[in-house]
Amino acid sequence: MGIRASPTVALHFTDCAVPVDARLGAEGEGFTLAMRTLDLTRPATGAMAVGIGQAALDAAVTYARERQQFGQPIGAFQGVQFMLADMAMQVHAARLMIHHAARQVDAGIRANTYEASMAKCWAGDAAMKVATDAVQIFGGYGYTREYPVERFMRDAKIMQIYEGTNQIQRLIIAKELLGD
């Protein structure tokens, strides 16, 4: 459906022995270690979402400048202008949140679960909203494969799902807020 540049597959191991010296941690710590890596990878997932949102915004702005209706570009209509402004704010806010979480990772801060989850969640939701709005601005053309916005919308959806769904991100954020 989307992210065609990522050949993601399921791997199944049966009776696979891992030598003790090849383990990343002690026996039984695998799940905990895997969960901790998400604080590092969620900002990267969010960065992909920002890129998708930016690409969708750029395509919508270009199209709004070029597409003519009633003798003027559709970008001259206030309804389209409001959509573009909202899209720009969503992308910009997502970018700032991702930069903050990424700076924490770069600084070696490993207790950034709250910020990483917020940034990933916001960026994923923003990418989906912006891509959907871009399809709307393109009208019927936005739904065709002739234009890139249909792909941006498909690619944006996975940003709300992998590295922990955005529903899970909201649970993590609430848990951090409540101190549970």
Active site residue ranges: 163
Residues 110 and 39 sit within 8 Å (Cβ to Cβ): yes
The CA-based dihedral angle spanning residues 47, 48, 54, 60, taken in that order and rounded to the nearest 10 degrees: -160
DSSP secondary-structure letter at 144? Answer: S
105, two tokens: 């990772």
Q: What angle do CA 90, 91, 95 make, to 5 degrees?
A: 120
The helix/strand/coil state of 154 is: helix
